[in-house]
Copies of this chain bind each other. A is one copy, B any other.
Amino acid sequence: MGRGDKATVADVARAAGVSPATVSRVLHHPELVNGETLERVRRSISDLDYSSVSFDGIGASGTPLVVISIPWLDNPFYGEIVRGARVAAQIHGAQILISWGNPEDPSLDDFCQMLRSCGAQGIITCGPLSLEALGQIDDTVPVVQCCEFNDRSSVPYVSIDDFSAARTATEHLLSCGCRRLAFVGGPDVYKYTRERRRGFLSMVGEQMIEVPDRWVLQIPNNSFGLAYSAVCHMLESEERPDGVFACSDTFASAVIRSARKSSLEVPGDLMVVGFDNTDTAVMTTPTITTINQPRYNMGFSACNLLFERIEGSSEATSMTLETELIVRESTTSKKELS
């Protein structure tokens, strides 16, 4: 992996005849380990001179550091992700710092150099990355992908099944009686946009419903203002959708405001389903039917997976967590309305 042949937690575990998880507990929660095992593991750590080689840049008194890279700080989506990751880091006796933006912008070399010079032990990446970029980061420190992931890479991930969640959201709009459906997505570089659009189109396709191209919107980022402008434009025409699947609660709130500008009632004239189940979904009038992502759990699991990798486990496997539909005021059965 290009990180050199240094002693890892796995090496220590082998030498002491225990699991890597036990070594981790000895390092971070010795109070949980029985005396004899504690002694044996500490001897192996000492024999292999483990801590001085593996915790580069962190002195004996220092706290290990992990980094979480998020593409947008002002998207309320990431708060709970980082909160979960932070709790997992604390359990492992580590601190966490957040990097905001695309690691490749302006330079991936600078980013990797920063990871090295700040002594990061590992990184959780939440944005889309090329196979090459992921490889270069993983050659620097262990990586786990969270939310967005590149499925051509062997780097493990924690995410959701966007395709099937989008089918659930679309099926709900159909079951409420909507027949003229529109889609509001983010940039195509994001797996979440590509997969949710694919799920949306597969579900409407099964019902033999055609969706005009101009009703499939692509917003350059998770911006309320840009989505508001694009949806207002879509609603100006005579021919209008009666249901919108929006890829985020921010986009769904923009649909609600746009409908109001066009004097359309939500849900009477237009129904909306969002995604994420952030606070935004309960701040608006009407409140937003949405897909809940287990964000706290995603961040928590990704960080635990990262520590498995840091500690040398070869068994760190990807996880796909469950989503669920939460029905609120922005959708209602057409029968109930009339």
Q: Which residues of A contact B (CB under 8 A)?
A: 57-59, 61-63, 65, 67, 72-74, 76, 78-80, 82-83, 86, 90, 95-101, 106, 110-111, 113-114, 117-120, 224-225, 250, 253-254, 256-257, 260, 279-280, 282-285
Contact = CB atoms under 8 A, between A and B. Distances in A.
A118 B100 contact: no
Nearest to A253: B283
Given A86-B100, A100-B82, A282-B257, A63 B110 contact: yes
Contact of A224 (B57, B100, B250, B283): B283
B113 A63 contact: yes
A147 B73 CA distance: 18
Given A97-B118, A117-B118, 4 more contacts: A57-B117, A65-B117, A118-B120, A224-B283
A63 B113 CA distance: 8
A74 B76 contact: yes
Given A117-B62, A282-B257, A95 B74 contact: no
A74 B65 contact: no
Contacts of A117: 57-59, 62-63, 65, 118-119
A302 to B, nearest CB: 16
Contacts of A120: 118
A80 B285 CA distance: 26
Contact of A74 (B61, B80, B110): B80
A32 B72 CA distance: 32
Contact of A283 (B57, B78, B110, B257): B257
A90 B72 CA distance: 17
A157 B96 CA distance: 25
Nearest to A228: B282
Q: Which of A111, A120, A253 has the most CB of B within 10 A?
A: A253
Nearest to A117: B62
Given A82-B73, A83-B73, A114 B284 contact: no
A16 B97 CA distance: 37
A98 B95 contact: no
A107 to B, nearest CB: 9
B100 A65 contact: no
Nearest to A111: B95
Closest CB pairs A-B (n = 9): A74-B79, A118-B118, A98-B98, A97-B97, A285-B285, A253-B283, A224-B279, A62-B117, A73-B79
Given A82-B73, A282-B257, A283-B283, A62 B114 contact: yes
Contacts of A118: 57, 65, 97, 117-120
Contacts of A283: 224, 250, 253-254, 257, 280, 283-284
A284 B82 CA distance: 26
Contacts of A250: 279, 283
A106 to B, nearest CB: 8
